[in-house]
Amino acid sequence: MEVGGQVRDLTIVGSYQDITNGGKTAKSVLPTQGNDVMWYVVGVALAPGTDAAATAQAYGDQLAPAKVHDIEQWRAQTLRPIARQMTVTAAISAVVAVALVGLMTALFTRMILARDAGPIAVQRALGADDGGLRAQYVTRTVLVLALGVVVGAVAAATLGEAMFNLMFEGLYGGMEALGRGTSRIDFAVDPLLTYVLLPAALLGSVSLVTAASARSLSDARISALTTD
Amino acid sequence: MTTSTPVLDARGLTKAFDGTTVLHGVDLQVHDGELVAVMGPSGSGKSTLLHTISGMDTMTGGTVSVAGQDLGSLSQKQLARLRLTTMGFVFQHGHLLTNLCLLDNVVLPAYLACLAPREELNRRALALMERMGVAGLATRDVSEASGGQLQRIGICRALINEPTIVLGDEPTGALDSTAAAEVLDILGEINAEGTTVVLVTHDATVAARADRVLYMVDGRIVADRQQGRCAAVDLERRHGGVAAWLTELQPRSAVLGPV
Ligand SMILES: Nc1ncnc2c1ncn2[C@@H]1O[C@H](COP(=O)(O)OP(=O)(O)OP(=O)(O)O)[C@@H](O)[C@H]1O
Ligand SMILES: [Mg+2]
């Protein structure tokens, strides 16, 4: 690296996570001549109770051409586009997951109904009501779903962050970066979304799809049963 | 007996599968307490007749009423309920559910009907099984009983909701003659107690016990012999066998094949 006209060998002894800069960044503190410096960043800590926006405005007026930002504003400017993208990505994954669960439920229900065609035909012949039989299948898949949601939520809450960070490290750093601890993204869990809305969406998708697929059990007829 | 409203009343009953007509305008009245045997060659529509008069299969034309209820006017749910509470079914291959023990198989229709608490249903089922001589098999699986025993379990299942009419599709078809005779004795007893019984059968000895024999050919009832059980037995004795007695029916139809 060239610093102040001099080539210097720098050894990277540590890095930190920086999602705006390809995953990680390292910083060094070096003496320089003032002319080559592109910009200075000066952090200002305000005393508690100070009006940040008003202070920023006042400094900005006094220190032009320096740009003075409230840290909140700065954060919004640098991170908002990424945050927005991540929100969209998360929303799309959620929708796709619910749709996939629905699709798998439909296929699974069809398979189970095909397997149970005999017993269903017999029960219908004896006088079992189609709605009642359908309800049995809906209950069964909903129970499985409930179990899955509980296991999934617990796994996400305990292993989720670690897995996500591992994935992130692999994504940016390749295999050798795995487990180095470069990525330390903490999940900001929205309890309403995570533990209420998403399970409710899954529940709705699964029960509707099962009920719809199970309509075909009305086709199971004793007259179509082949004798052993 | 014949002046009462029939338990089963089918008029102009037709049934077609994909454009092929299998029942051609069948008229059939079965009265309270009758034991009716339905005979006929394979493919003549006997099973289809049972399936349509019980509402298991939809009819293509005509009307059917069972226990005074017009099947055509009932919703799927009401139809299922009627079948559950007024009809009992015995099938050739038992059609017991393999994932239930034998007791639960007997209880199933009562459980579906939700008429009484479970203990009461179990008691009723065990009493029936006791009577049929299969109470010892209550906790066994379907695979752990003989064909004759399974058929008796099937009869218990048919009777659990105290039906007005019992319909059997070759209930003795898969049994040897001893087991078949035992099952027939049981069905005869049930009939003697007042339950109407309609049996589809290939077996002439079954027909010999019925007080009425219908003969079907190509989706039509071509013979309908109504006579006392004793008369049937007499005929059997006089003609040296049921086969001979049945040939008496033949002149009524030109298309009769071998039985
Ligand atoms: N589910 C079905 N789909 C199409 N055709 C059918 C169906 N069930 C029965 N059939 C046809 O209807 C006709 C009558 O069949 P059915 O089973 O009623 O005869 P069956 O008198 O009971 O014969 P078997 O003595 O062999 O039991 C046959 O030609 C059969 O092929
Ligand atoms: Mg048949």
Determine the average pLDDT of the residues in B201-223: 89
State the Cα–Cα distance between residues B63 and B13, nearest whole angstrom. Answer: 6
CA dihedral B137, B141, B142, B146 (to 10 degrees): -50
Q: How far is CA B231 from CA A66, B2, B105, B129, in A?
A: 120, 18, 38, 32
The tens digit of pLDDT for each residue in B70-87 reads: 999 999 999 999 999 999
Contact yes or no for B186/B155 (Cβ under 8 A): yes
- Among A122-126, B91-95, B201-205, top mean pLDDT goes to A122-126
Tell me the fold of B8-249.
Rossmann fold (3.40.50)
Express as a percent the part of chain B with pLDDT over 70: 86
* pLDDT for the residue numbered B241: 42
Amino acid making up residue A37: V
Residue, of B7 and A172, whose pLDDT is higher: B7
What's the confidence (pLDDT) of residue A22? Answer: 58
Q: Position B142: which residue type?
A: V
Give the residue extent of every domain in chain A. Answer: 39-69, 79-227
C-alpha separations of B196 from A38, A62, B163, B164, B167 in Å: 103, 106, 9, 6, 9
In which band, very low, low, confident or very high, does the pLDDT at B104 lie, cut at 50, 70 and 90? very high
Q: Strand B196-200 vs strand B35-39: parallel, antiparallel, or unpaired?
A: parallel
Torsion sign across C-alpha atoms B179, B180, B182, B186: positive
Per-residue pLDDT, A61: 86
Instruction: Give me the residue spans of the domains in chain B.
Output: 8-249
Write down the pLDDT at residue A19: 63
Q: What is the pLDDT of residue A82?
A: 84
- For residue B226, give every residue at least 6 positions away whose Cβ sits within 8 Å of its Cβ, in sequence order, or none: B211, B212
The confidence score (pLDDT) of residue B253 equals: 40
Is B45 close to ligand 1, i.e. is its CB under 6 Å away?
yes
Q: How far is CA B115 from CA A74, B103, B110, B195, B207, in A?
A: 71, 17, 7, 20, 35
Cα of B227 from ligand 1 centre, angstroms:
28
In the 3-class helix/strand/coil scheme, how is chain B assigned residue by residue? Answer: CCCCCCCEEEEEEEEEECCEEEEEEEEEEECCCCEEEEECCCCCCHHHHHHHHCCCCCCCEEEEEECCEEHHHCCHHHHHHHHHHHEEEEECCCCCCCCCCHHHHHHHHHHHHCCCCHHHHHHHHHHHHHHCCCHHHCCCCHHHCCHHHHHHHHHHHHHCCCCCEEEEECCCCCCCHHHHHHHHHHHHHHHHCCCEEEEECCCHHHHHHCCEEEEEECCEEEEEEECCHHHHHHHHHHCCCHHHHHHCCHHHCCCCCCC
Q: Say whether pLDDT at B180 is over 80.
A: yes
Q: Cβ contacts (< 8 Å) between A220 and chain B: which residues?
A: none
d(CA B174, CA B198): 18
User: Which residues, given as ranges, of chain A have pLDDT below 70?
Assistant: 4, 19-23, 34, 177, 180-181, 226-228
Our mutation pick for probing the ligand 1 site, out of A223, A226, A227, counting the most ligand atoms within 8 A of Cβ, is A223
Ligand 1 site-directed mutation target among B39, B48, B57, B256, most atoms within 8 Å of CB: B48
Residue B222 sits at φ, ψ, to 5 deg, of -100, -10
Rounded mean pLDDT of chain B?
85
Asked if A124's CB is within 8 angstroms of B56's CB, the reply is yes
Q: Which atom of ligand 1 is nearest to the CA of A223?
A: 1
Report residue B177's pLDDT band, with 50, 70 and 90 as the boundaries: confident
What pLDDT score was predicted for residue B233? 47
Q: Whose CA is nearest to atom 26 of ligand 1?
A: B42
Q: Is the pLDDT of residue B237 over 50?
A: no
CA distance A126 to A2: 89
- Lowest-confidence region among A35-39, B31-35, B186-190, B214-218: A35-39
* Nearest in space to B150 (alpha carbons), one of B187, B181, B175: B175
Q: For a pLDDT cut of 90, what percent of chain B falls above it?
A: 66
Which of A119, A221, A228 minimises the CB distance to B93? Answer: A228
Q: Please say whether the beta carbons of B91 and A134 come within 8 A.
A: no
B24-70 pLDDT, tens digit per residue, is 999 999 999 999 999 999 999 999 999 999 999 999 999 999 999 99
Q: What is the mean pLDDT of residues B83-94?
A: 92
C-alpha to C-alpha distances, B14 to A78, A170, A173, B21, B121, nearest whole angstrom: 78, 71, 75, 7, 38
Smallest CA separation from ligand 1 atom 17, residue:
B47
| Torsions phi, psi for B11 (to 5 deg) | -130, 125
Query: B200 CA to middle of ligand 2, Å?
Result: 8
Percent of chain A with pLDDT over 70: 92
**3-state secondary structure at position A18:** strand
Given pLDDT bands bounded at 50, 70 and 90, which one contains residue B243? very low
Across B4-10, average pLDDT? 88
- pTM for this entry: 0.77
Q: Is the pLDDT of residue B126 over 60?
A: yes
Evaluate whether A226 touches A126 at the Cβ level (below 8 Å). no
- Residue A102, by phi and psi: left (phi above 0), alpha (psi -120 to 50) or beta? alpha
pLDDT at B254: 40
Q: Sign of torsion, CA A105 A111 A115 A116?
A: positive
pLDDT (0 to 100) of residue B229: 53
Short-list A2, A66, A65, A3, CA closest to A33: A3
Q: What is the pLDDT of residues B143-176, one digit of tens each?
A: 999 999 999 999 999 999 999 999 999 998 888 8
